[in-house]
Structure 1
């Protein structure tokens, strides 16, 4: 049995309260699991907070903070909050105690030395100025996307809708939308401007007016992905398991043993290229309206409508409604293909399982890998070829990933953490290899387990 909690007392000479002391075993009990879903505690810098009544009000989303219930959230807290001092003021009302002096800085199953070295690295990164954005870089990024967007319309305006200009215009439109996606990703991670509000408003404009999406839904989903990448039931990017795909050998074996299937997963490596983007296009078009309406995000909904009106006015007079629909959804499908291959090359081939409560570095490295640097790779992926560095430092401006990469490699080498970096084609091929292995694992369990 864990030791009894110490009673909060007040020092007569100062009037300051003495916080209750807890062990890691006691904290783990309050994980929000089972019948006590609202009983949630977490630890930040050895302080214990009761978030049971707060998690639903959490600005970053109720689920992302709940994913750390019963765990140490110190490094995740630092990764997601630009102004820690300001946020800690709001945390004071949730403070209920601290770790007992005899308790280590992290849970017993974690590498304390690795955690300490990573936190030292975070201090070094800030001193080097790697968390500061180069405004000229992002200005040029934005300018080239606007030019691509305009080029798509100009091609149709000057050359009409014969096959060649039609295809080139679709490619320009899809490329612009992909690049808008990478840019809104930067803004959503508060990595472009120093001011959080400037990032948030710019995110709403780029995501809504220029891309036709909802930043609130993106934030709700993407923050969870970063908090617990490749952790089933915590990373929403795995929601396609088992609806469309069987992902990861442990989950595939479990699914096969339960004799469950929605599709023939042993063939998923064959249908991935069409089914994954084909499912994303209608899902995205529907979810943006559903989310903004049910969450009453009226300004975001207005921006989405304005995006559609803008494109209707630009293209329908030139090609008619029916051809525009074919044009628009062809570009969206091409965009979805680009998005799927880039985002999944870093994750699907990696470890996919339930949350093992790994330390921040080990958890992120187990779920992510890099693709070799080149001008094309950097541009086509929005610098997400540096997925490891992005996951460790999600608020770092993307143009600084290559600078911090050697430091991350040294940290991983020192502590025996696997740092994977591949060629672009190898990363793409590994998606299919991984899907085939998972599908074969599912079939084996389905037939024989």
Structure 2
């Protein structure tokens, strides 16, 4: 599978009919962009003058890495350079992920998060401003190019093996078992929305972000945050935090179709149970179910996130960053069923568009690649994984409180 751009139309950088992204994107049944994409000045000039594609500017990594600010963002995908500064606010996955990747090679991130590259090309074409100079490597020089190439070869192998094809029977059975929360979790990965969610969740529980802790130290006793997580945090994660956060995100991003689907759920719920329990009783029933569900999904998802190292400053390749930031829970019949196959969080992060029923098949290949390049492949018993959440929260709070009171001016 390749994502390289090809000359089209009259040979200009962007054909006129390619600029109307909204209409074409909506024709494919996907959320459309709000209006036409705004071209960067350099590219707009090239388009108007009808310059041929071969006249695209070339850039070095040193030049590209300077464009890594919120108001100036360049990305590299398959050696093509894109200016996404004006597009960031309309990015369906949010501005955050583009901010994080600015000035870097994002080929593997792009392939991981976009299941249909043909649609995404409609957005990329107007943003294209150049390409890497011929003498430049595919990735920044501080990255392990051999590891990146090995991972890309692994992905091509998995595509050949049809590991990204879903077994509809598997998901139908999970729906029958009322495990819709895991489907919501999967869709969160596809939209990159989960990154925003987890980042804001980490702002509530202190995991090393000094500025967030200083802002909230007057309201939260971080020395007891592990107790908050066990009692209030896990219980209210789904019925309060995620519900309100999802509604806020849908409204702010004008996802009217999603709002309609959510509204239909509550309408159907009240039609079904309202005659028996009344309006108040039906509301209590909805949130009682979510209250029972919440600790379960909180522990199942956070065993692979809270105890692991998360660093937003290091410029790591996609494979390394995902392997180091998460861990697996040992495979067993019970663990697979209890977690909905989300015990394979390493594979889930590396291949978020891969159906969960295939993770156990690709896990040995991922583990082998980790061993080849000296990366830890963490696989824990489920009870130890649960305990590590509490230990990690206690350790983070103790380290931060010591630093805060020792150096309150920092």
Deviation, 1:139, is 2.5
Q: CA deviation at 1:114?
A: 0.5
Runs of 4+ in 1 over 6 A off after TM superposition: 254-259
1:289 CA drift (Å)? 4.1
Structure 1 residues 330 and 79, CA gap change in structure 2 (3 angstroms): same
C-alpha distance in 2, partners of 1:259/1:132? Answer: 45
Quick one: distance in 2 between partners of 1:236 and 1:287?
A: 8
Structure number with the bigger relative contact order (C-alpha 8 A, sep ≥ 6) is 1
**Equivalent pair of 1:369/1:420 in contact (CA under 8 Å):** yes
Q: Distance in 1 between matches of 2:280 and 2:154?
A: 55
Structure 2 residue 353 is the aligned partner of structure 1 residue 392? no
Q: How does 1:178-193 map to 2 (within 5 A)?
A: 179-186=179-186
Offset of residue 128 of structure 1: 1.2
* Counterpart in the other structure of 1:240: 201
- Contact 1:30/1:70 (CA < 8 Å) preserved in 2? yes
Give secondary structure in 1 for the equivalent of 2:126.
Answer: helix
| Conservation of the 8 A alpha-carbon contact between 2:236 and 2:294 | no
Deviations along 1:383-412, one digit per CA (max 9) or x if unpaired, are: 110000011111111111011000000000
Does residue 103 in structure 1 map to residue 60 in structure 2? Answer: no
SS in structure 1 of the partner of residue 349 of structure 2 = helix
Query: Whole-Å Cα distance in 2 between the matches of residues 342 and 131 of structure 1?
Result: 23
Distance 1:437 1:362, change over 3 A: same
Deviation at 1:352, TM superposition (A): 2.7
Q: How far off its partner does 1:127 sit?
A: 0.9
The residue correspondences of 1:407-446 to structure 2 (distance < 5 A) are: 407-446=365-404
CA distance 1:296–1:50, shift in 2 (3 Å): closer
Secondary structure of the residue that 1:333 maps to in structure 2?
helix
CA distance in 2, matches of 1:414, 1:125: 18
SS at match of 2:75: strand
1:355 aligns with 2:313: yes
The farther-off stretch of 341-350 and 57-66 is: 57-66
CA offsets, 1:271-329, max 9 Å, x none? 21122134432233434444444444333333322212222232233344444443332
Aligned pair count?
359
Contact 2:79 2:138 in 1 (8 A): yes
CA change 1:38–1:322 in 2 (3 A) is same
Q: Is the 8 A contact 1:76 1:360 kept in 2?
A: yes
Distance 2:250 2:312 in 1: 30
Determine which of 193, 206, 214 is the counterpart of 1:221.
Answer: 193
The 3 A distance-change label for structure 1 pair 181 and 257 is closer
Instruction: Give the 3-state SS of the residue equivalent to 1:130 in structure 2.
Output: coil
Question: Secondary structure at 1:343's aligned position in 2?
Answer: helix
Which of 226, 246, 260 is the aligned partner of 1:269?
226
Q: What are the residue-to-residue correspondences of 1:307-386 with 2, within 5 Å?
A: 307-386=265-344
**Shift in Å at residue 437 of structure 1?**
0.4
Contact between 1:256 and 1:443, CA under 8 Å: does it hold in 2?
no
**2:61 is the counterpart of 1:24:** yes
Q: In 2, distance between residues paired with 1:298 and 1:94?
A: 27
Q: Secondary structure at the match of 1:131?
A: coil
Once the two structures are superposed, the pairs formed by residues 33-44 of structure 1 within 5 Å of their partners are 37-44=70-77
User: Deviation string for 1:4-25 (max 9, x for gaps)?
Assistant: xxxx99xxxx955233221112
TM-score (norm 2): 0.80
Query: Where do 5+ consecutive residues of structure 2 fail to align?
Result: 1-44
